[in-house]
């Protein structure tokens, strides 16, 4: 498989392939991973590492996929806690009491698209497949966050909402926060119609860098750059923001892409915990 990235590494452990940021690997107080399509037990359109419970795959297969990913990454399956994610911008603080929610306990977090915690061994899980995963680490306040930023979450500034919640709950100073923008559909492949492009223009950011009109009346959008600017507007220094250069659609044999599969697909997850 052809794979190249300047900022991320492909790790393979017991046939489970997952991505990590080189710069986050240097932070010993956390563990993190982005799953791929490889190394799971799911079949058919979910083959093989599907982390989505709500797309029609067998639940026992998804659970087994989580167990295999956890084993490869060195995270306890029992410590996982997942958001529900329906493209809103609510951020919830979770503790060890919520362990298992959304994975082996029922979801009680409707409309939650981002999670934050300052407890060790609480592994935050978010899902995606073209949408933008955002990870946050504040080594000073010893706190972390994880958010799912689709286009709605992005224009709802969920990245800034997550920073706001970390300030409120953990007295995080945004200057200390390290953020990572994970694999997502890039500007090479993310075409939208006028009404969606308009929402991006209304953000009051430098949209000349993320809204690109095309001759056919549609627009190419750079979700990564939009989220980068939103994180900077929330006070995170640009040198603290690490960016994945992996387009999910261009690399759809390695990672899940909603657009590349026409929606017949599994999903990936990002996992982040304080070690
Ligand atoms: Zn692409």
Q: Compute, in angstroms, the gap from residue 126 CA to the centroid of ligand 1.
A: 22
CA of 122 to the centre of ligand 1 (A): 33
**CA–CA dist 228, 117 (Å, integer):** 22
Distance 219 CA to ligand 1 centre (A): 14
The two tokens of residue 79 are 């410590």
Q: Is the pLDDT of residue 110 over 80?
A: no
The answer to whether residue 87 scores a pLDDT higher than 80 is no
- Helices 158-170 and 223-233 cross at an angle (nearest 10°) of 30
In a domain, 50, yes or no: yes
- The domain tally of the chain equals 1
Taking residue 273's Cβ as centre, other Cβ atoms within 10 Å add up to 26
pLDDT, average across residues 194-201: 98
CB atoms within 10 A of CB 238: 9
16 forms beta bridges with 13
- For residue 145, pLDDT over 70 is answered with yes
Query: Residue 47 Cα, ligand 1 centroid: separation in angstroms?
Result: 21
Residue 61: inside a domain: yes
Instruction: Look at the alpha carbons of 143, 146, 151, 156 in this order and tell me if their dihedral is positive or negative.
Output: negative
Report the pLDDT averaged over residues 157-178. Answer: 98
How much distance in Å is there from the Cα of 2 to the middle of ligand 1?
14
The answer on pLDDT for 78 being more than 80 is yes
Distance 189 CA to ligand 1 centre (A): 4
User: Residue 207: inside a domain, yes or no?
Assistant: no
Q: Looking at residues 93-116, what average pLDDT do you find? A: 89
Is-contact 150 177, C-beta < 8 A? no
- Tell me how long the chain is: 275
Band of residue 83 on the pLDDT scale cut at 50, 70, 90: confident
Residue 114 tokens, joined: 């981002």
How many whole angstroms from 252 Cα to the centroid of ligand 1? 9
Q: Contact, 257 vs 249, CB < 8 A?
A: yes
Rg (CA), the chain: 17
Residue-level pLDDT at 1: 59
Domain encompassing residue 270? 8-185+241-274
Q: Identify whether 160 is part of a domain.
A: yes
Measured in Å, residue 190 CA sits from the centre of ligand 1 at 7
Least confident of 16-30, 104-118, 169-183: 104-118
Tell how far the Cα of 159 is from the centroid of ligand 1, in angstroms.
Answer: 22
Cα 139 to middle of ligand 1, angstroms: 33
Structural domain includes residue 41: yes
Is a pLDDT exceeding 80 seen at residue 144? yes
211-213 sheet: strands from edge to edge = 191-192, 219-221, 211-213
| Average model confidence (pLDDT) across the chain | 95
Q: Is residue 88 part of a domain?
A: yes
Q: How far is CA 182 from CA 24, 68, 140, 219, 273, in A?
A: 11, 21, 22, 22, 16
145-167 average pLDDT score: 97
Ligand 1 centroid to Cα of residue 133, in Å, is: 16
CA angle 177, 81, 33 (to 5 degrees): 55
Please report whether residue 95 resides in a domain.
yes
Q: Residues 99-103: what's their mean pLDDT?
A: 94
pLDDT digits (tens, 9 = 90+) for 208-255: 999 999 999 999 999 999 999 999 999 999 999 999 999 999 999 999
Cβ–Cβ < 8 Å for 244, 24: no
pLDDT score at 70: 98
Q: How far is the CA of 4 from the centre of ligand 1 (A)?
A: 13
- Token output for 218: 């549609």
* pLDDT at residue 2, rounded to an integer: 63
The tokens describing 6, both together, are: 């300047």
**pLDDT tens digits for 228-240?**
999 999 999 999 9
Average pLDDT over residues 138-144: 98
Would 217 be classed as within a structural domain?
no
What's the token pair of residue 97? 């009491």
Which helix H or strand E contains 3, and what residues bound it?
none
> What CATH number does the domain containing 97 carry?
3.60.140.10
The DSSP symbol for 239 reads G
**Rounded Cα distance, 101 and 92, in Å:** 13
pLDDT for 107 beyond 90: no
Which residues are CB-neighbours of 263 under 8 A, at least 6 positions away? none
Going from the Cα of 130 to the center of ligand 1, the distance in angstroms, rounded, reads 10
- Looking at residue 154, its pLDDT comes to 96
């Amino acid at each position: 498989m052809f794979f190249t990235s300047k900022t991320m590494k492909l790790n393979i452990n017991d046939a489970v392939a997952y991505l990590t940021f080189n710069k986050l690997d240097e932070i010993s107080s956390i563990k993190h991973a982005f799953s791929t399509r490889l190394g799971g037990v799911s079949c058919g359109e979910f083959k093989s590492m599907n982390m989505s419970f709500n797309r029609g795959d067998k639940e026992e297969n998804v659970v087994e996929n989580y167990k295999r990913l956890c084993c490869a990454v060195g995270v306890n399956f029992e410590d996982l806690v997942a958001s529900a994610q329906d493209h809103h911008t609510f951020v919830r603080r979770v503790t060890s009491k919520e362990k298992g929610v959304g994975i082996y306990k029922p979801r009680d977090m409707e409309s939650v698209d981002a999670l934050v915690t300052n407890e060790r061994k609480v592994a935050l899980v978010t899902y995606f497949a073209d949408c933008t995963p955002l990870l946050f680490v504040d080594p000073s306040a010893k706190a972390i966050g994880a958010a799912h930023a689709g286009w709605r979450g992005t224009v709802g500034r969920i990245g800034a909402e997550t920073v706001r919640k970390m300030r409120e709950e953990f007295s995080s100073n945004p200057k200390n926060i390290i953020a990572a923008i994970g694999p997502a559909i890039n500007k090479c492949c993310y075409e939208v119609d006028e009404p969606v492009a308009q929402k991006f223009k209304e953000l009051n950011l430098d949209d000349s860098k993320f809204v690109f009109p095309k001759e056919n009346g549609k627009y190419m959008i750079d979700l990564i750059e939009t989220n980068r600017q939103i994180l900077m507007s929330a006070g995170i220094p640009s040198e603290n923001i690490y960016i994945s250069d992996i387009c999910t659609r261009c690399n759809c044999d390695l990672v899940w892409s909603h657009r590349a599969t026409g929606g017949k697909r599994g999903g990936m997850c990002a996992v982040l915990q304080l070690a």
